[in-house]
């Protein structure tokens, strides 16, 4: 399906210094509608994330609990359901795409394509990075931007009360795609990298796995290799490890 074309936020969101990959669709002519989306409360953004995550779970093949991928992810994420004040839930999507993402409501999804190329600690590094985006507020901002750009902004503006229950399946699809395909800024990515590094240390996982994951993404010869920032980010993690050892 088209929604899951996006690459792993660790690499897919690497380089957009200003930017969102979302087409804002001429919002200059819909200023009032844009303004409504921008003033959505955190609770409304979380409600949008609930619906977008539910939509994604229906549109993708969720791996069942007795599947080896699900069992492996359960092992990898053991003890992480309540992480740093966040209530998280984890599922695996069966797809060759190399991807993972987290929404503001604590919905964390990992793709089998990522798990196939990563060690357990590398998957943990990815998850720690994604949790960082949630904890640092980046995911809420990203969902607001997706709401701003999605067809749902029409109904939100018209309702006057941010009634997200009015979103159609088509609007939810556009919202989910907008969220997953949007890019974080370089500053946000760096902050999430550092959070991921501290996450690895806090749980006594190997922080070097975060750097090795970046290098795998940089050298896999596929879509990820188009993101030259991966090596630089790996080197930054190496520098953090070296500094801590001193």
What number of CA atoms fall less than 13 Å from residue 117's CA on the CB side? 24
| Catalytic entry in 44, 83, 122, 130 | 130
Nearest-CA neighbor of 109 among 60, 147, 45, 68? 60
Verify whether residue 130 is a known catalytic residue. Answer: yes
3-state secondary structure labels for all residues of 121-173: HHHHHHHHHHHHHHHCCHHHHHHHHHHHHCCHHHHHHHHCCCCHHHCCHHHHH
Contact 181, 21 (CB under 8 A): yes
The CA-atom distances, in angstroms, between 203 and each of 31, 120, 189, 196, 228 are: 45, 13, 21, 11, 29
The label of the residue with tokens 């993404």 reads 217
Tokens for 233, please give them.
């980010």
Q: In the beta sheet, which residues pair with residue 111?
A: 93
The CA-atom distances, in angstroms, between 25 and each of 67, 93, 140, 148 are: 41, 30, 21, 10
Distance, in Å, from the CA atom of 90 to the CA atom of 75, rounded to the nearest integer, reads 11
- Kindly report the number of other CB atoms within 10 A of residue 119's CB atom: 15
| Residue positions annotated with a catalytic role | 130
């Amino acid at each position: 399906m088209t929604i899951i074309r996006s690459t792993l936020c660790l690499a897919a969101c690497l380089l957009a210094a200003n930017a969102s990959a979302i087409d804002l669709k001429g919002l200059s002519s819909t200023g009032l509608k844009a303004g409504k989306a921008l003033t959505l409360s955190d609770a409304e953004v979380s409600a949008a994330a609930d619906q977008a995550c539910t939509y994604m779970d229906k549109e993708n093949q969720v791996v069942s609990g007795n599947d080896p991928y699900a069992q492996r992810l359960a092992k990898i994420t053991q003890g992480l359901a309540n992480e740093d004040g966040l209530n998280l839930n984890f599922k695996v999507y069966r797809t060759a795409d190399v991807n993972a993402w987290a929404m503001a409501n604590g919905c964390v999804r990992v793709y089998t394509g990522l798990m196939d190329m990563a060690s357990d600690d590398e998957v943990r590094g990815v998850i720690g990075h994604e949790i960082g985006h949630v904890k640092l507020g980046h995911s809420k901002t990203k969902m607001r931007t997706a709401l701003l750009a999605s067809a749902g902004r029409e109904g939100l503006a018209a309702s006057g009360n941010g009634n997200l229950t009015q979103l159609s399946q088509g609007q939810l699809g556009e919202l989910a795609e907008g969220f997953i395909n949007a890019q974080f800024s370089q500053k946000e990515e760096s902050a999430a990298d550092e959070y991921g590094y501290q996450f690895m240390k806090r749980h006594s996982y190997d922080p070097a796995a975060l750097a090795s994951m970046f290098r795998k993404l940089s050298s896999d010869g596929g879509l990820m290799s188009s993101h030259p920032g991966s090596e630089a980010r790996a080197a930054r993690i190496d520098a953090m490890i070296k500094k801590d050892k001193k």
